[in-house]
Amino acid sequence: MQKTSAYQSLVKTFQRLSRFSHLSSIASWDMFTMMPPGGSAARGEALAEMSVLQHQILTDKKVGDLLAAAAGEDLNDVEQANLREMTRYYQQATLLPESLVEAKSLVGSRCEHAWRTQRPANDWQGFSANLKEVVKLSREEARLRAEAKGCTPYDALLDIFEPDMTSARLDVLFGDMKSWLPDLLANVVEKQAQRSFVPPQGPFPTATQRELGLEAMKMLGFDFNGGRLDVSAHPFCGGVPEDVRITTRYDEDELLSALFGVIHETGHARYEQNLPRAWAGQPIALARSTAIHESQSLFFEMQLGRSEAFLKHLLPAVHARFGSQAAFSEENFIAWNQRVKPGYIRVDADEVSYPAHVVLRYEIERALINGEIEVDDIPALWDEKMQAWLGLSTKDNYRNGCMQDIHWTDGGFGYFPSYTLGAMYAAQLFHAAKTALPGLQASIAEGDFSALFEWLRQNIWQHGSRFSTSQLITQATGEDLNIRYFREHLTSRYL
Q: Would the CA dihedral through 62, 67, 68, 70 be positive or negative? A: positive
Q: Which amino acid is located at 38 in the chain?
A: G
Cis peptide before 153 (omega within 30 of 0): no
Residues ≥6 apart with Cβ < 8 Å to 393: 383, 386, 387
Question: What is the Cα–Cα distance from 31 to 397, expressed in whole angstroms?
Answer: 27
Q: Is 301 a catalytic residue?
A: no
Residues forming beta bridges with residue 244, ordered by sequence position = 227, 239
Query: 263: closest CA among 339, 347, 143, 170?
Result: 347
- Map the chain to HEC letters: CCCCCHHHHHHHHHHHHHHHHHHHHHHHHHHHHCCCHHHHHHHHHHHHHHHHHHHHHHHCHHHHHHHHHHCCCCCCHHHHHHHHHHHHHHHHHHCCCHHHHHHHHHHHHHHHHHHHHHCCCCCHHHHHHHHHHHHHHHHHHHHHHHHHHCCCHHHHHHHHHCCCCCHHHHHHHHHHHHHHHHHHHHHHHHHHCCCCCCCCCCCCCHHHHHHHHHHHHHHCCCCHHHEEEEECCCCCEEEECCEEEEEECCECCECHHHHHHHHHHHHHHHHHHCCCHHHCCCHHHCCCCHHHHHHHHHHHHHHHCCCHHHHHHHHHHHHHHHCCCHHHCHHHHHHHHCCCCCCCCHHHCCCCCHHHHHHHHHHHHHHHHCCCCCHHHHHHHHHHHHHHHHCCCCCCCCCCCCCCCCHHHHCCCCCCHHHHHHHHHHHHHHHHHHHHCCCHHHHHHCCCCHHHHHHHHHHCHHHCCCCCHHHHHHHHHCCCCCCHHHHHHHHHHHC
Mutual orientation of helices 98-118 and 40-59 as an angle, nearest 10°?
150
Catalytic residue, chosen from 112, 133, 265, 365, is 265
Residue 7 φ/ψ, nearest 5 degrees:
-65, -45
Which residues are catalytic, by number? 265
